[in-house]
Every structure is written in structure tokens, then in C-alpha cells.
Chains A and B, each alone.
Chain A
């Protein structure tokens, strides 16, 4: 499975790829932030600071996407990566179907 980057618009494609990776990391960091907040070890101040920093980050990424018209590219890169991940997971847990696939080839 290959990631599709539009050759006709290399700048947009490349930037889209980078922003997509940043967005994945951002998503991951946000989830971990929620876990930390729910973990109860942080005080009020830290929670507020963390929340504000994440909102700022989110706004910055949204702005970059809007400025460069990247929404579609980023969405397609992320959904391709999700497909790859899903596929890998499936092969990992269902080695039989993988073997069948190989035999077919």
C-alpha cells in the first residue's frame, strides 16, 4: 500500500505529509494529556497551562492548513496511514489470511 502524494503539486503534497505527521503526534499528545489530567497528579495551574498550550498548537496547525489549502491532502494522508495501520494489525492477528494472500500471488 502506497501513500499518494500528488506529483503535480509537490509543495502541497510534501507540506501535507509533514502536517499530517504533526497532526498525528498532536492527536497522540492530546490523548496523553487527557490521561495525565485524569490521572490526578497535576495541579489546577498545570492543567490550565497544558490545556492552553494544546489549544494554541491546534490553532497554529489549523492556520497552516488553511493558509496552504492542505485540508484534503492531510485528510487523505491520514486515512492512508490509518489503512496501513489497520492492515498491519489485521495481518498481525490473522496470520492465516496473510498466508492466503501470499498464496494468491
Chain B
């Protein structure tokens, strides 16, 4: 076999993966003729396509793809018709009822209809407010465990919701923009009506 010259490292690795590599090794360590430690190695390295061609890792390949697809499907809250997500970020809402009071984590969604905190696992909307219900929005900082932290106070039908997110001012902007565009949409629909 003549070597094919001018091959780069990637070409060699690619070819290696396409062909596949199998290693079988058995080893025993003996002392005074008595086997004491045994090692039995079986390893295979190949691209998944090659593995599948030989009937290896088939189930795992299928399950991985199906699992990811399922994750994609379930990774968001159910949106109404015509509802569009304008902003999404990770954050918390303050929950206080009876003895329980804590920050509950989830993903904040600002859509053209509402503000929503969505927890993926187990699925639940931890907080939901329609844009029409939102009164004042106020950003403030609280001392928490000796550290100053930004939070957003959202007035929803007379009650104050305490909100935290990775970027509070960005989140505030997103809500204000959603409110503003909703006002425009309403005034436009009024114009059409008159």
C-alpha cells in the first residue's frame, strides 16, 4: 500500500473515525504463578454513522434524538394564537403564603399579551399577569444577605409582585416596550372602529 501524501491531521482523524477502531485487550498480573489482578478491555472508537452501520449504539442514538426533540417541544409555555414572545430571561419571583416564603426560579417571558414566569420541571406558570392588569413598574435595590440586589416591583391589580432577573433594567425595558406597543395597537384598533 502506497501512502497518500499531503494529508492533514483532520483527514487522518476523519478517515480513522470513518473506518473505526476496535481494541480488545486481556491482561492478568500474576505473582509466583498465581493470577491476582485481571484486566479485560474492550473499546471501540468510530463515528456514529459507522457504529450504526455495524449495529452498535443504535438505541442510544435514537433515544438521544427523541429526548432532545421532546425537550424542544416542551421547552416553553403554551402561547395563545397570535401571541409572540418579545423577551425571555432567567429569573425569580417572590412567593409568600402562610409559612412558606421564598424566591421561586423559572424563565420570565414577556409576550405581546402578558408577563409570565414559567417553570419547566415540573411544568407550572409561577406568575402570570396580563399587560392590561399591570399598573406601576418600579426598579429598586434591596439588601439581601449583605449584598445589594436589583429587583423589579410590578403592581398587578393593587398587589406588588417582587421580581428578580439576570438583568433587571433590560427586563424593565422589555415590559415597558410591550406595554407601549399594546397601547399603540389599542389606539389603532380604536381608530379603525371610529
Contact = CB atoms under 8 A, between A and B. Distances in A.
A binds B: yes
Contact of B5 (A24, A32, A46, A86): A86
Contact of A32 (B2, B8, B49): B49
A27 to B, nearest CB: 5
Contacts of B3: 89-90, 92-94
Contacts of B2: 93
A90 B1 CA distance: 12
Given A28-B13, A28-B14, A86 B8 contact: yes
Contact of A28 (B1, B10, B61, B65): B10
B48 A36 contact: yes
B81 interface: no
Given A39-B49, A39-B52, A93-B1, A31 B14 contact: yes
Interface string B1-20: 11101111110111001100
A82 interface: yes
B89 interface: no
A20 to B, nearest CB: 10
Interface string B42-84: 0000011100100000000100010001000000000000000
A82 B48 contact: no
Interface string A58-93: 000000000000000000001001101110011011
Given A32-B48, A41-B52, A86 B14 contact: no
A85 B49 contact: no
A85 B7 contact: yes
Given A32-B47, A35-B18, A85 B12 contact: yes
Interface string A16-55: 0000000010011001100110010110011000000000
A81 B9 CA distance: 6
Contacts of B13: 24, 28
Given A82-B7, A84-B9, A85-B9, 19 more contacts: A28-B10, A28-B13, A28-B14, A32-B14, A32-B17, A32-B47, A32-B48, A36-B49, A39-B49, A46-B65, A78-B8, A81-B8, A82-B9, A85-B8, A85-B12, A86-B6, A89-B12, A90-B5, A93-B3
Interface of A: 24, 27-28, 31-32, 35-36, 39, 41-42, 45-46, 78, 81-82, 84-86, 89-90, 92-94
